[in-house]
Amino acid sequence: MSGNTLGTLFCVTNFGESHGPAIGCVIDGCPPGMPLAEADIQADLDRRRPGTSRHVTQRNEPDRVEILSGVYEGQTTGTPIALLIRNTDQRSKDYHEITQSFRPGHADYSYWQKYGIRDPRGGGRSSARLTAPTVAAGAVAKKWLALRWGTHIRACMTQLGELPIPFEGWEHVPQNPFFAPVADVARYEEYMDALRKAGDSCGARIRVQATGVPVGLGEPIYDKLDADIAYAMMGLNAVKGVEIGAGFASVAQRGSTHGDALTPQGFRGNNAGGVLGGISTGQDIEVSLAIKPTSSILTPRESIDIHGHSTEVITKGRHDPCVGIRAAPIAEALLALVLIDHALRHRAQCGDVTPPLAPIPANAG
Amino acid sequence: MSGNTLGTLFCVTNFGESHGPAIGCVIDGCPPGMPLAEADIQADLDRRRPGTSRHVTQRNEPDRVEILSGVYEGQTTGTPIALLIRNTDQRSKDYHEITQSFRPGHADYSYWQKYGIRDPRGGGRSSARLTAPTVAAGAVAKKWLALRWGTHIRACMTQLGELPIPFEGWEHVPQNPFFAPVADVARYEEYMDALRKAGDSCGARIRVQATGVPVGLGEPIYDKLDADIAYAMMGLNAVKGVEIGAGFASVAQRGSTHGDALTPQGFRGNNAGGVLGGISTGQDIEVSLAIKPTSSILTPRESIDIHGHSTEVITKGRHDPCVGIRAAPIAEALLALVLIDHALRHRAQCGDVTPPLAPIPANAG
Amino acid sequence: MSGNTLGTLFCVTNFGESHGPAIGCVIDGCPPGMPLAEADIQADLDRRRPGTSRHVTQRNEPDRVEILSGVYEGQTTGTPIALLIRNTDQRSKDYHEITQSFRPGHADYSYWQKYGIRDPRGGGRSSARLTAPTVAAGAVAKKWLALRWGTHIRACMTQLGELPIPFEGWEHVPQNPFFAPVADVARYEEYMDALRKAGDSCGARIRVQATGVPVGLGEPIYDKLDADIAYAMMGLNAVKGVEIGAGFASVAQRGSTHGDALTPQGFRGNNAGGVLGGISTGQDIEVSLAIKPTSSILTPRESIDIHGHSTEVITKGRHDPCVGIRAAPIAEALLALVLIDHALRHRAQCGDVTPPLAPIPANAG
Amino acid sequence: MSGNTLGTLFCVTNFGESHGPAIGCVIDGCPPGMPLAEADIQADLDRRRPGTSRHVTQRNEPDRVEILSGVYEGQTTGTPIALLIRNTDQRSKDYHEITQSFRPGHADYSYWQKYGIRDPRGGGRSSARLTAPTVAAGAVAKKWLALRWGTHIRACMTQLGELPIPFEGWEHVPQNPFFAPVADVARYEEYMDALRKAGDSCGARIRVQATGVPVGLGEPIYDKLDADIAYAMMGLNAVKGVEIGAGFASVAQRGSTHGDALTPQGFRGNNAGGVLGGISTGQDIEVSLAIKPTSSILTPRESIDIHGHSTEVITKGRHDPCVGIRAAPIAEALLALVLIDHALRHRAQCGDVTPPLAPIPANAG
């Protein structure tokens, strides 16, 4: 209950600091009997890894995962799966300056006020590096969802700073460093190069989608599926907004157009984003995230020191000029973790049986 | 863990159906020794109550709350506070038709697929009527936050369908049925009248704000304060989007402008919306919600019946043409519940002591 | 998390005070589609009810239960089941004296120290009356266990004060006010009569048994089935000891005799009490409880007042001279609640499928 | 919620298998600002360590703990503390035989039935080796309890097989391999030597005590302090019974003698074992455990194989002939973990303030 565990039945407990000895997580509640190897997890970690293009932080971390428990002869046993990632490129230089003042837009001030102490090295616990264990756990969830139900999850960038990114096709996403669904990313490369030269940063918008989602996942009133998705996504570093389906556009819609019509062939349209009354409909889950610009920039900023006096802060070191660039695999992992958790909750209360009179599960619009 | 409890230390367990005998909740974890009477709770229930203007449902429910436990001689005892609201105007007529087909945009289909059975009367469990117990619990939370820390919470409507509502001042909000922060609401009255005549519905955007928020509330990594706010708000019926601070506008911001500068007099600006690294900064908490148009409309809609055959659905009965109109007090309650829960969690781990070198808590920009 | 909820998936949240307006509970997580009526619950409440013989408190409470939610047309819907029992015979006379000093063996002192305030009427929250909602919830759990798996739960008294009660047969238990498994209870009637005349009280030992228990319920390391049984039973008012299977007798056993041999026809013996490694084996679950003598006695006791000065306390009013007499149905309810919770947890993680090579489930010895 | 986490606010998530790469735990919720080093934890691990006398398993494990996170410059930061212990002496020989049949008294059968797969190496997840992470976490809890409130926890053996061990003094406990509170343990050495020669095993009874316990810890109705103690202790491998205070002896007591009188100087006697109404009184917490004889014995046993056919099983390898011998430090750790969890819960709801009129906290009798 201290905030470092995600999920109620498929529980991921995350630990570590950016420049401590190691980061990792413990997954408790994974169903037994699923084939699992480190390679299954490594693939997604590599998609999130720093240092893979000039547009992300140049910290060189292999992010090699070790399975410490919960797998026997290549299969999950139903007991906790502990995943360990050693930190290797910490560069623990002098952090004295950073401990004396607060970087605007960072967690320095709020952590220090909360705990009265903070690990300042590379952002400590508040570093985006701590999304790596989430990605690792998400890879396990993804595998189960795919094997069990054919549920697949993918994400792409739909806006980079002021530049909207048109949707050309999912097949382009793995082909460029932006997770952009377009064939030609030259324009975004130039944009990022200019930004980096200016010592500034920008935000991004990410789209996350799940297909093949079972009908009936989600709980009424509070732990709705969309509520838990919003929780998971808003908890991703730098996220300032979350939409499901039509999102903020639904404000100006009419009821006569918003509600997705049902037909014997499935739903028409997907304003719902795959969720009605907090419960999945079988339509694709559609989520959109707003990611703020990185707060670690070279431009000097007005701030205060720990005594409350005025000071100026410049953030040096290796940073992502747009944290949104590496956000796609993390958002995928979070959606997978929410879905598997609700799948297990559903199975607990309702079993796996589909009601006898169910119409053919819906096709997304 | 079955989705009808909100909070981890200040826990609200919600029960009831729209047309069952009663609705209510049990609050577990309220600190002892706080003065509490039914009148404290009734005030907020009356703000949410149906039938108070021609723009909301005409169902006539007094929503009279009874405290069943947890209060002795006018003070909370630290034991569970059970709150009961009897349903009085159920009009349980023939619901046969509604049980045979699915209303587009409603929870009919997803509940039926999940549980294999559903209480169709007035939407059953998925009715917005179930926000009343949340509002009642929120009133208890609000009182503690105000007494203990001077934390105050308020909400207003900032957009009605296509019409943005300018912010003229909080003092106008209680003076009109829209919770609109403007002196003259004639325009919105006309808009709603036209919509009602057309048998259609519209969405709304709601702003929620907390002032006087203690610094240090929120947990790292997953149970961030903003994550739990997003969870609570997205769980409110019909919400499709949630923003904190600059929200989706932050995508196009630069890091040099987004990060709120710190000064000895407090923060400059509030792009953060009061949260950095998932932990409160002492700035005002600023949240914005997108509420979809009501799905209960008189316009006939294409749908299917429970056998999967094509049919047409018209929703009769008494409904809100814009559920957003009554959303302000509910959103306030949810924010209060999230804040008190994190306040208790903070107290558990860190005690109430402010770090000795803390600068003067920030003023919101 | 504030201690008034039992279970993680089949969650029972208990509320009320002995002499407040009402007591009750909310069950969240009950599987949908189970036939349920108030009569199903009333039967067990009547077994626990006060005033049914001269050996228990003479308070006259019909303990009439009302289902407020979660049931539609005689079937559970999967949404919270709220159960309400109005208090009718409160006799709220002068409680001033009781508020000024602490009754030895009672929760007066500890509640007052914890909360700084307490509802003294009839013991307030610490009264054994609050086991009624547990019994009501247990009745729901029992029904599901019986329908789903043929799991049945029963309890009897095995010792009354110094008098051991031999086991003659389960059929005698419903035939006497002691839940004693013997045909002739004259000896126990006399014992209680003498005790009551002496203004004193005595303890009891209770045996609880579940038959037809599925194999595989329970979680490793901490939430073991026996750990959760011990938790539930020790939480029953006045319980001071819990045994599973051979219990304390196992201390003097040898490994060569303790471990229950497995045969193709089932286990030989049941020293395990139905649990190995925290997981059910299919043997009968066997639990034994020690219940202390009631602390509410007419004999004057040495104590202190709230100012810390010496005083003498006599407990007047209506009390059970042996709380153990009514403990059997409560212990049954608690075992049922633990079993259903673990059954749902098992279903969540492992599904309902029995491993293909499983030997025939064991017969208890 | 999958059973490998202990605690609600001071949460310990345990992972690992006896012969896997590593075991360990993640502590979430530790208060910040507490001095902590590996040496603090190692001391208790060394007390539990195998191979320290001829009466325990000869497996040679240094059980060297590594702190992976949550500590910065020698102080806890309030973020998760991950503790890692590498397994070094696994001897992974042929486990084929053990996978084909079930050892009586072991978790083989129940794990296999639950999960359909099990890690058989050294008992896998069900091995008592998994108490090491609990001991490590308990050491952190003990330190906080001692520093904050002067709460101290200790345990000793009070019975070995048929031999009761008289209480001569706590000072003897660290001086012998049995944790026996007596000066001369020759008799117990001989007893164990004979048992070992016979290829058999025996049980033990352990007493656990906490002194300096704050008044007011524990929650009403379900999460009572004694309920959570019973849960924790019954979850310890091989425990079959738990008593608080007078325990099973209270069955034959009268109310006039059982209830501990209060005086201005404190309580007279401690039949309560430090808990009334589920809440601590300030008396010493007194707990007694029954530990069954080890099931791993050299004597051949009747059993079945995984096809349900009769077979005979002999357990070879290195085993404790009395697991109770090493149980004292584990029981201490569990009591510490329960107390710190309830201390944080109490602080959350009630703050640290003692009610103004509180009499001097009680001395245990």
pLDDT tens digits, D320-350 = 889 999 999 999 999 999 999 999 999 999 9
CB atoms B347 and D345 under 8 Å: no
CB atoms C24 and B80 under 8 Å: no
| Closest by Cα among A256, A254, A272, A271 to B161 | A254
Render pLDDT for B156-202 as a digit per residue (tens, 0 to 9).
999 999 999 999 999 999 999 999 999 999 999 999 999 989 989 99
| Residues of chain D with C-beta less than 8 angstroms from the C-beta of B279 | none
* pTM of the predicted protein model: 0.96
- Report how far residue D279's alpha carbon sits from residue C2's, in angstroms, rounded to the nearest whole number: 13
Nearest CA in chain C to A221: C79
CB atoms B3 and A224 under 8 Å: yes
CB atoms D125 and A29 under 8 Å: no
| Closest by Cα among A12, A36, A58 to A316 | A58
| Residues of chain C with C-beta less than 8 angstroms from the C-beta of A345 | 9, 348
Render pLDDT for B31-67 as a digit per residue (tens, 0 to 9).
999 999 999 999 999 998 877 788 887 777 889 999 9
Residue C268 burial by Cβ neighbours in a 10 Å radius (0-12, 13-18, 19+): middle
CB atoms A349 and C79 under 8 Å: no
How far apart are the CA of C126 and the nearest CA of chain B, in angstroms?
Answer: 10
Neighbours of C167 (CB within 10 A): 13
Q: Collect the ranges in chain C with pLDDT lower than 50.
A: 354-365
Q: Is the pLDDT of residue B363 over 50?
A: no
pLDDT reported for residue C6: 97
pLDDT reported for residue C91: 64
Q: How far apart are the first and last CA of chain D?
A: 39
- Report how far residue B259's alpha carbon sits from residue D49's, in angstroms, rounded to the nearest whole number: 52
| Closest by Cα among B265, B243, B267, B246 to B255 | B246
How far apart are the CA of C344 and the nearest CA of chain A, in angstroms?
Answer: 5
- Report how far residue C217's alpha carbon sits from residue B156's, in angstroms, rounded to the nearest whole number: 50
Residue among C4, C33, C69 minimizing CB distance to B15: C69
pLDDT reported for residue C329: 97
Residue among C15, C20, C69 minimizing CB distance to B20: C69
Nearest CA in chain A to D78: A115
Residue D113 burial by Cβ neighbours in a 10 Å radius (0-12, 13-18, 19+): buried
Render pLDDT for D32-64 as a digit per residue (tens, 0 to 9).
999 999 999 999 999 988 777 888 877 778 899
pLDDT reported for residue B149: 87
Q: Is the pLDDT of residue B326 over 90?
A: yes
- Report how far residue A31's alpha carbon sits from residue A34's, in angstroms, rounded to the nearest whole number: 7
CB atoms C28 and B16 under 8 Å: no
Chains B, D: CB contacts within 8 A come to 44
B347 touches chain D (CB under 8 A): yes
CB atoms A29 and C349 under 8 Å: yes
Residue D312, C-beta contacts closer than 8 angstroms, at least 6 positions apart:
D300, D301, D302, D303
CB atoms A78 and D26 under 8 Å: no
pLDDT reported for residue D325: 93
Q: Digits of tens for pLDDT over chain A (365 positions)?
A: 579 999 999 999 999 999 999 999 999 999 999 999 999 999 999 998 877 788 887 777 889 999 999 999 999 999 999 999 999 876 656 677 778 889 998 999 999 999 988 888 888 999 999 999 999 999 999 999 999 889 999 999 999 999 999 999 999 999 999 999 999 999 999 999 999 899 899 999 999 999 999 999 999 899 999 999 999 999 999 999 999 999 999 999 999 999 999 999 889 999 999 999 999 999 999 999 999 998 888 888 899 998 889 999 887 766 788 999 999 999 999 999 999 999 999 999 998 754 434 444 444 33
Render pLDDT for D12-23 as a digit per residue (tens, 0 to 9).
999 999 999 999
Q: Rounded to whole angstroms, what are the CA distances from B57 to A35, A242, B20, B331?
A: 54, 29, 18, 19
Residue A75, C-beta contacts closer than 8 angstroms, at least 6 positions apart:
A32, A33, A34, A35, A36, D117
How far apart are the CA of B41 and the nearest CA of chain C, in angstroms?
Answer: 18
| Residues of chain D with C-beta less than 8 angstroms from the C-beta of C227 | 231-232, 234-235
CB atoms A124 and D82 under 8 Å: no
Q: Rounded to whole angstroms, what are the CA distances from A244 to A227, B160, B226, B238?
A: 10, 19, 17, 11
Mean pLDDT of D197-214: 95
- Report how far residue C178's alpha carbon sits from residue C159's, in angstroms, rounded to the nearest whole number: 10
Beta strands in chain C, from DSSP E residues, in sequence order: 5-6, 11-16, 22-28, 65-67, 71-72, 75-76, 81-86, 152-160, 163-164, 204-211, 239-244, 262-263, 266-267, 275-276, 279-280, 285-291, 301-304, 310-313
Q: Is the pLDDT of residue D359 over 50?
A: no
Chains that touch C (3 or more CB pairs under 8 A): A, B, D
Q: pLDDT confidence of B318, banded at 50, 70, 90? A: low
| Closest by Cα among B153, B160, B169, B178 to B47 | B178
Q: pLDDT confidence of B6, banded at 50, 70, 90? A: very high
| Residues of chain B with C-beta less than 8 angstroms from the C-beta of D344 | 348-349
Residues constituting chain C: 365
C124 touches chain D (CB under 8 A): no
Helix (H) or strand (E) segment spanning residue D239: strand D239-244
List, in order of start, the domains of chain A with CATH numbers: 94-134+148-350 (3.60.150.10)
Most confident of C285-299, C329-343, D104-118, D287-301: C329-343
Nearest CA in chain A to D26: A15
DSSP state, residue D213: P
Nearest CA in chain B to C121: B72
Nearest CA in chain C to D309: C264
| Closest by Cα among B315, B285, B287 to B300 | B315
Q: Is the pLDDT of residue B362 over 50?
A: no
Q: Is the pLDDT of residue D358 over 60?
A: no
At how many degrees (to 10) do helices B327-350 and B131-149 cross? 50
CB atoms C351 and A1 under 8 Å: no
CB atoms A348 and C350 under 8 Å: no
D8 touches chain A (CB under 8 A): yes
CB contacts under 8 A, A 196-225 vs B, are: 200-205, 215-224
DSSP state, residue C308: S
Q: pLDDT confidence of B26, banded at 50, 70, 90? A: very high
Residue among B1, B29, B349 minimizing CB distance to D344: B349
Q: Is the pLDDT of residue B289 over 50?
A: yes
| Residue pointed to by tokens 């002067």 | D150
Q: Characterize B280-304 residue by residue with b for buried, 16 or more Cβ atoms within 10 angstroms of its Cβ, and e for exposed.
A: bbbbbbbbbbbbbbbbbbbbebebb
* Beta carbons of A140 and A336 less than 8 angstroms apart: no
Residue among C30, C31, C348 minimizing CB distance to A9: C348
CB atoms D81 and A116 under 8 Å: no
| Closest by Cα among B322, B327, B331 to A252 | B322
| Residues of chain C with C-beta less than 8 angstroms from the C-beta of D264 | 304, 308-310
The residues facing C156 across adjacent strands are C207
Q: pLDDT confidence of B91, banded at 50, 70, 90? A: low
CB atoms D281 and C9 under 8 Å: no
A347 touches chain B (CB under 8 A): no
pLDDT reported for residue A319: 75
pLDDT reported for residue D317: 67
| Residues of chain A with C-beta less than 8 angstroms from the C-beta of D114 | 78
Residue C338, C-beta contacts closer than 8 angstroms, at least 6 positions apart:
C7, C225, C228, C229, C232
Q: What is the DSSP string of C223-280?
A: S-HHHHHHHHHHTSTTEEEEEETTGGGGGG-BHHHHSPPEETTEES--TTTTEETTEE
